Amino acid sequence: MSRIGKKPVAIPSGIDVKIDGRKVTAKGSKGELSVTLVDNVTVELTDDGVVVSPVGNTKRARSMWGMSRTLIENIITGVSEGFTKHLQINGVGYRAQMKGKNVGLQLGLSHDVVYQMPEGVSAECPTQTEIVITGIDKQAVGQAAAEIRSYRPPEPYKGKGIKYKDEYIFRKEGKKK
């Protein structure tokens, strides 16, 4: 039994959820998102919220049960609150700034990197060493943050690079003389 799948997804006030076969659509103050679920689960709208249950007792159905519930919870959270990722830049001369809707990065390379933000995802730079990425789609926000981080991931000796705000960098000791 899936402990995650058993719990119904609560629907906050102001959020409209529609179920059309395998497609679940949520509409809220921030926008509209939808997800198409696999054949191995059934979805129904009850007084408690959205309830997901497996079809049969196969391993695949039980595997998809919790994942499907989490996908529905993510679209409901996205249209009501949205998602945010915070990035920090460490290193001498490393900085970020907004260039229109895009993020311009100076990361010690021979050229400046300009990252074009995907549709539905926005960024802002409160300081030169911080980037805040926001959007309603959890996957798109995480993907944008991961792509920006991939330009200069943090290194273990001096800790220079782009890291998530809550990420811990395991530091190594340099070589001895």
Q: How many domains is the chain built from?
A: 2
Residues of the chain where predicted confidence (pLDDT) is lower than 70: 1-2
- Report pLDDT for 2: 66
Within a domain: 172: no
DSSP 79-132: HHT-EEEEEEEESTT-EEEEETTEEEEE-SSSS-EEEPPPTTEEEE-SSTTEEE
Domain-ending residue, one of 80, 105, 140: 80
Claim to verify: residue 64 and residue 100 sit in the same structural domain? no
Claim to verify: residue 97 and residue 69 sit in the same structural domain? no
Domain-ending residue, one of 80, 98, 121: 80
- Report pLDDT for 1: 62
Within a domain: 175: no
Per residue in 73-124, pLDDT (tens digit) is 999 999 999 999 999 999 999 999 999 999 999 999 999 999 999 999 999 9
Determine the structural domain holding residue 22 and report its residue range. Answer: 3-80
- Report pLDDT for 75: 94
